[in-house]
Amino acid sequence: MELPPPAYLFISFIILIFSSQRTLTQDPACRNTCNSLQIKYPFGTGPGCGSPLFHPYITCTSSGGGGGDQLILKTHTGSYPITSISYTTSTLTINPPYMSTCTSMQNSPNLGLDWASPFQIGPSTFILLDCQPPTSSMTTTKNTPLCDPSYSFLCASIYTCPDVVSLGLPLFPPTNTCCVYSPANLNEKGELDLRALKCGAYTSAASLGEYPIDPVKWVYGVVLKYTYGTLDNNVVDSKCKGCEISGGVCGYNPSGNSFICVCGNGLNSSLDCFNYGLNQVYGWSTNSSVHLLTRNI
C-alpha cells in the first residue's frame, strides 16, 4: 500500500536523522588509552582516530607475547616506542630500540624523522659514542664545532658505564671518542647519520635529573616536539574539548577528513556524544602538515 505523503516524509526524515548519526564506525574503535598512556587529540590509536595529520605516523599496536599494547611512532628509519606524552608542552619521548644506555651499549642505526610529519627533534641531550678521534674536528656545514666542550663531563660520565666494553671500547676510553651534540640536527634526509659522522652509536637523555654525573640515573629517550595546523587548533578549541567532556574520542572521517566524535556506544557524531542529530562538518588542510624538522648539519 502506498504511504500518504505526510507519513512518507516523516519516515524519510527519521531515516535521514538516523543515518546522519551513524557515520563511519572506527575499526578498531578509537580509544583514549594505549597501555598506560593517555591518548588525547591530536594522537589516535588507529585510522580515523585523532588528527589525520598524525596518521599514519602514530598507532597503537599489540607488542605480542602478552606484553600489551604499545604506542608507536613510525618513520622511514624504523618504529619507535613512545614512552611518554606531555600535552602541556606538546612533546613526546621515544625509546629507539638500538639506542645505547648505560646498561646496554650497542651499535646504532640512523635515527630519522619524515620531513612531512608534524615532528621535530626536541630538547634532548645527544651524546655520540665510539667516534673517530679527534671529535674536536667534527663541524657543521657552517664550519662551526659540532661538539659542545662545556658538556664534556657527560662523556666522561657515560664512559664509566661497564657496558662500554660491548662497543669494543675499554673501560674509561679516551673522551675524544665521544661528542655531546646538543641541540642535535638532522641532515637533508631527516636523519642523524652516524656513519657520516664517523660514530658507531649514540645515546640520548631526555633528562639528566639531579645527578648529571651519574648516567645510571639519567632518563634515556629522544624528546620530540609536535605541531599541528591552524585548522587543527580550531578543532581543538571548538570541537574536541566538548567531545572529550561528553565521553567521546576525537577522530575524523577517513573518506573526507571531516571531524567526528567517536562515542563508546558505537555511534559517531560531528559534535559530541550528547548531540547526534546536530551535525556540522569541520575539515583539515593536509598542506598544514608540513613542518621543518631542524636545521641541516
Residue with cell 660520565: 157
Structural domains of the chain, count: 1
Query: DSSP readout, 170-230?
Result: -SS--GGG-EEE-S----TTSEE-TTTTTEEEEEEEEE-TT-TT-GGGSEE-EEEEE---H
Q: How confident is the model at residue 73 (pLDDT cuts 50, 70, 90)?
A: very high
Note the pTM of the prediction, 2 decimals.
Answer: 0.81
d(CA 26, CA 23): 9
Q: How confident is the model at residue 84 (pLDDT cuts 50, 70, 90)?
A: very high
d(CA 66, CA 210): 35
Q: Is the pLDDT of residue 23 over 90?
A: no
Q: Is the pLDDT of residue 66 over 60?
A: no
Q: Is the dihedral angle over the CA atoms 145, 148, 110, 53 positive or is it negative?
A: negative
> Percent of the chain beyond pLDDT 70?
79
The pLDDT assigned to 107 comes to: 93
By residue range, what is the domain housing residue 189?
Answer: 95-226
> 169 or 1: whose pLDDT is higher?
169
The rounded mean pLDDT for the chain is 81
Query: DSSP readout, 238-281?
Result: IIIHHHHHTT-EEEEETTTTEEEEE-TTS-EESSBTTBSS----
* Residue 71 DSSP label: E
Strand partners, 73: 58, 80
Among 42, 100, 94, residue whose Cα is nearest residue 73:
94
The pLDDT assigned to 63 comes to: 62
Q: How confident is the model at residue 275 (pLDDT cuts 50, 70, 90)?
A: confident
Q: Is the pLDDT of residue 60 over 90?
A: yes
In a domain, 78, yes or no: no
Q: Is the pLDDT of residue 205 over 60?
A: yes
Q: Which of 29-43, 60-74, 142-156, 214-228 has the lowest mean pLDDT?
A: 60-74
Q: Is the pLDDT of residue 287 over 80?
A: no
Residue with cell 565521553: 247
Task: Let me know the angle formed at the C-alpha of 220 by 75 and 112, rounded to the nearest 5 degrees.
Answer: 20
Cis peptide before 42 (omega within 30 of 0): yes
In a domain, 283, yes or no: no
C-alpha to C-alpha distances, 116 to 75, 192, 228, 269, 295, nearest whole angstrom = 10, 17, 12, 29, 15
Start-to-end CA distance of the chain, whole Å, equals: 77
Report, as an integer, the average pLDDT of 199-205: 96
C-alpha to C-alpha distances, 242 to 58, 173, 228, nearest whole angstrom = 23, 57, 19
